[in-house]
């Protein structure tokens, strides 16, 4: 074929994301030919087989709000390749930590669901939970600003049920076909291999600024929810709407919530940065230590149950994973508790090899038509083939059901056991020796949801409001939390080098809250403000604040499970230390001793106290509150120690409660805060002061200090 006879392989393509200029360049196709791309003459997007793609934004559904169809070869082609991009590390949620425990049912839910796990009050079901970050690689640090995975495997008597959720109840995208693009944008940039475990770079914010449906999630990840103090102090959510089905075949919608019994708590961004330097395994160590010491983390499983009538009248589409249902509209019903009471025996065998699949449900629970959930059901199972080597990953003990298993599946890579007997097919006529048989009475049956409509690639108009709930989340925060969100956006966007991306993001923020947009624009020197982004639907101003969306409004009612750091030097008062130990034990608070040298400290009465951390390796960012117990003679030396000075400075700047004795005054002087002592700093002068200090610490932070510091000229 001559050059004149060759077909023209370039066409005018459209970019539904509304991208800016496409610079002229050339691209080599799979067959080696050069495609000239200039301006609006961009290469047409194709599948791996070379088939042009007409719509890369929506999966193929039955009707506007119907389920995703298995025949969608474009979705399968895209997600299949994405699922197999990494070996053997998980593509997402690579850095995780798990623990064993149990789920205990409070009451029978037979009226709502025929799921066996919900039938008998007080029954305990074995559980395994894996917490994780999303964007970072396996060797990244724990305190990244990121979504946290919250995946629960329940080993029920009728099979494994996986609730594969996050610590944030919404997601970035509405359709699973966009998931590879989201993660590609969030991961390290492919040409340079950095930055990783962070979203503060051009690619991520370029994608987000072209994806208005992400704006609600952006508010969550820029909030303190994305930097939790501990796995133990964060919520978990099933994200999607599911269904519960009872024995009569009646179904209701449900959203799953895990509420921590010890309240919510986060860290400050400056703390997160310093914790990552001091202890990149901070969350892992915290969970391991708590369980090992018998302070078992506990959550309540709560259900938001609603029917089709509510779904029809609700302001937003319940199948849209970028939306929540406020608890004020549908209260959460506690139905059981999850307790983690023992650590793993081997990290690789359990935490690393555990396989979660959203498709793993049990009779009495069913999926909805949520297009993101439908795509996840395909993706998770497919991923295990690459990551765990074959179809027999359920033979690995951590993945194996704890109930009887009978089937005809056999052989394959790493088969640990095969069915016994002559028959390996069904139906067969071998009677009792013919193996298991289906059971309509006990077996899983899908809810008969009506499905109508033509096959089409569309996004339902009921998914089109991208800003109203983002605004609702923002106005639900305290003023302190709102400032943290503005600071987070300012920091992240300051790392973006492309001006037009910053402008696009501020344009979106103007549709959420004008004050927020102005604050962020000021941090980026954007003057004047860009025009508000075009919106499919105007932002609703009538959605009220929801207190349940704030961390600070849902803190703990005790200091249980938190950790006090006691900075001591030789000759420290033993009476004060003993009183502090007693108060901590009564509260359920952990205590660690930090000192200028490792080993032991000899106190005022000659007692020896074991040192947990040398001060250079035990900065105050690792603790929820601090106590300064200097000995009278050793105080000048402690005050001249730079690490001790930083210990005090950071605790003060991070608005933590500080207790001290008079002998520690030189250290306060050297740290430069004696003249700035406030009500968040307590002198342990009286015998009852240690107990009073612990009670004060239940507030977690002295937030007024931050306001006073910001008011300084």
The DSSP string of 637-687 is HHHT-HHHHHHHHHHHHTT--EEE-GGGHHHHHHTT-GGG--TTEEE--ST
More confident residue, 224 or 448: 224
**pLDDT over 50 (residue 35):** no
Q: What is the pLDDT of residue 502?
A: 98
**pLDDT over 50 (residue 601):** yes
Q: What average pLDDT score do residues 326-338 get?
A: 98
Residue 6 lies in a domain: no
Last residue of a domain, one of 373, 399, 425: 399
Range of the domain at 603: 558-711
User: Which of 152-161, 445-454, 577-586 is predicted least confidently?
Assistant: 445-454
pLDDT in tens, 198-212: 999 999 999 999 999
Residue 404 lies in a domain: no
Domain CATH for 612:
3.40.50.880
65: tokens are 């709000």
Residue 515 lies in a domain: no
What rounded mean pLDDT belongs to the chain?
Answer: 90
Last residue of a domain, one of 375, 399, 423: 399
Domain CATH for 157:
2.40.180.10
C-alpha 425, offset from chain centre: 43
Does residue 74 sit in helix, strand or coil? helix
pLDDT in tens, 210-252: 999 999 999 999 999 999 999 999 999 999 999 999 999 999 9
User: Which of 9-13, 454-458, 491-495 is predicted least confidently?
Assistant: 9-13
Q: Percent of the chain beyond pLDDT 70?
A: 92
Q: How far is CA 227 from CA 197, 246, 301, in A?
A: 13, 39, 22
C-alpha 625, offset from chain centre: 25
Q: What is the pLDDT of residue 103?
A: 98
Does residue 565 sit in helix, strand or coil? strand
More confident residue, 593 or 90: 593
**pLDDT over 60 (residue 19):** no
Collect all residues with Cβ–Cβ distance below 8 Å to 98 and sequence separation of at least 6.
128, 129, 130, 131, 344, 350, 351, 354
Of 623, 604, 696, 635, residue with least CA distance to 612: 623
Q: What is the pLDDT of residue 709?
A: 64
Q: How confident is the model at residue 41 (pLDDT cuts 50, 70, 90)?
A: low
Collect all residues with Cβ–Cβ distance below 8 Å to 574 and sequence separation of at least 6.
603, 604, 605, 607
pLDDT in tens, 636-666: 999 999 999 999 999 999 999 999 999 999 9
Select which of 93, 257, 466, 508 is catalytic. Answer: 93
Select which of 160, 166, 399, 646 is catalytic. Answer: 166
Residue 300 lies in a domain: yes
Residue 566 lies in a domain: yes
More confident residue, 375 or 86: 375
Q: What is the pLDDT of residue 84?
A: 65
Residue 625 lies in a domain: yes
Residue 389 lies in a domain: yes
Active-site residue, 93 included? yes
Sort 437 into a burial class: Cβ within 10 Å, 0-12 / 13-18 / 19+.
Answer: exposed
Q: What average pLDDT score do residues 298-326 get?
A: 98
pLDDT in tens, 501-548: 999 999 999 999 999 999 999 999 999 999 999 999 999 999 999 999
Residue 126 lies in a domain: yes
Q: What average pLDDT score do residues 29-51 get?
A: 54
Q: How confident is the model at residue 392 (pLDDT cuts 50, 70, 90)?
A: confident
Other Cβ atoms less than 10 A from the Cβ of 13: the count is 15
Q: What average pLDDT score do residues 297-312 get?
A: 98
Q: What average pLDDT score do residues 326-354 get?
A: 96
More confident residue, 314 or 394: 314
Q: How confident is the model at residue 29 (pLDDT cuts 50, 70, 90)?
A: very low
pLDDT in tens, 87-145: 477 888 889 999 999 999 999 999 999 999 999 999 999 999 999 999 999 999 999 99
| Domains held by the chain: number | 2
Last residue of a domain, one of 350, 381, 399: 399
């Amino acid at each position: 074929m001559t050059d004149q006879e060759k077909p023209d392989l370039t066409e005018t393509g459209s970019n539904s994301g509304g991208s800016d200029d496409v610079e002229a360049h050339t691209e080599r196709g799979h067959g080696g030919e050069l495609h000239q791309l200039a301006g609006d003459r961009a290469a047409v997007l194709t599948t791996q087989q070379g088939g042009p793609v007409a719509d890369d934004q929506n999966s193929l559904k039955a009707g506007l709000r119907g389920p995703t169809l298995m025949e969608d070869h474009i979705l399968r082609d895209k997600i299949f390749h994405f699922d197999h991009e990494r070996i053997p590390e998980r593509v997402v949620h690579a850095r995780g930590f798990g623990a064993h425990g149990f789920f205990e049912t409070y009451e029978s839910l037979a009226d709502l669901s025929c799921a066996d796990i919900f039938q008998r009050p007080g029954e305990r079901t074995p559980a395994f939970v894996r917490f994780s970050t999303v964007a970072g690689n396996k060797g990244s640090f724990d305190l990244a600003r990121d979504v946290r995975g919250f995946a629960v495997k329940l080993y029920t008597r009728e099979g494994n049920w996986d609730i594969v959720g996050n610590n944030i109840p919404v997601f970035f995208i509405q359709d699973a076909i966009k998931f590879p693009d989201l993660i590609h944008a969030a991961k390290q940039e492919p040409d340079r291999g950095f930055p990783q475990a962070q979203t503060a770079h051009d690619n991520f914010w370029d994608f987000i600024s072209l994806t208005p449906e992400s704006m609600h999630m952006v508010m969550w990840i820029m909030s303190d929810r994305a930097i939790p103090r501990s796995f133990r102090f964060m919520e978990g959510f099933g994200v999607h709407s599911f269904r519960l089905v009872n024995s009569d075949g009646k179904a209701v919608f449900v959203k799953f919530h895990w509420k921590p019994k010890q309240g919510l708590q986060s860290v400050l961004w400056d703390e997160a940065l310093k914790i990552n330097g001091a202890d990149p395994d901070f969350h892992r160590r915290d969970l391991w230590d708590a369980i090992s010491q018998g302070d078992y983390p506990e959550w309540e499983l709560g259900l938001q149950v609603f029917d089709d009538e509510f779904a029809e009248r609700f302001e937003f589409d319940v199948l849209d994973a970028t939306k929540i249902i406020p608890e004020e509209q549908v209260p959460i019903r506690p139905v059981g508790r999850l307790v983690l009471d023992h650590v793993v025996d081997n990290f690789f065998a359990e935490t690393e090899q555990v396989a979660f699949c959203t498709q793993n449900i049990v009779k009495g629970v069913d999926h909805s038509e949520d297009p993101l959930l439908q795509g996840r059901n395909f993706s998770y199972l497919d991923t295990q083939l690459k990551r765990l080597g074959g179809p027999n990953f359920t033979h690995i003990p951590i993945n194996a059901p704890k109930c009887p298993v009978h089937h005809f599946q056999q052989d394959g890579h790493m088969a640990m056991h095969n069915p016994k007997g002559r028959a390996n097919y069904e139906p067969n006529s071998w009677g009792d020796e013919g193996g298991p048989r289906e059971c309509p009475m006990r077996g899983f049956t899908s809810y008969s949801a009506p499905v109508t409509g033509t096959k089409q690639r569309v996004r339902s108009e009921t998914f089109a409001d991208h800003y109203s709930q983002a605004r609702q989340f923002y106005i639900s925060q305290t003023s302190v939390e709102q400032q943290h969100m503005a600071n987070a956006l300012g920091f992240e966007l300051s790392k973006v080098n492309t001006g037009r991306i910053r402008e696009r993001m501020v344009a979106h923020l103007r549709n959420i809250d004008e004050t927020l947009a102005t604050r962020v624009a000021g941090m980026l020197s954007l003057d004047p403000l860009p025009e508000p982004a075009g919106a499919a639907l105007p932002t609703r101003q009538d959605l009220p604040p929801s207190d349940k969306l704030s961390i600070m409004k849902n803190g703990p009612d005790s200091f249980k499970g938190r950790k006090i750091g006691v900075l001591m030097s030789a000759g420290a008062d033993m009476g004060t230390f003993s009183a502090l130990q007693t108060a901590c034990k009564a509260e359920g608070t952990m205590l660690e001793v930090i000192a200028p040298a490792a080993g032991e400290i000899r106190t005022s009465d000659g007692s020896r106290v074991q040192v947990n951390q040398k001060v250079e390796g035990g900065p105050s960012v690792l603790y929820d509150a601090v106590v300064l117990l200097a000995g009278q003679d050793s105080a000048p030396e402690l005050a001249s120690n730079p690490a001790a000075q930083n210990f005090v400075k950071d605790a003060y700047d991070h608005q933590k409660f500080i207790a001290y004795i008079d002998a520690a005054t030189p250290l306060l002087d050297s740290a430069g805060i004696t003249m700035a002592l406030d009500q968040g700093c307590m002198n342990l002068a009286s015998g009852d002061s240690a107990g009073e200090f612990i009670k004060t610490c239940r507030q977690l932070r002295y937030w007024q200090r931050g306001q006073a510091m910001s008011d300084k000229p």
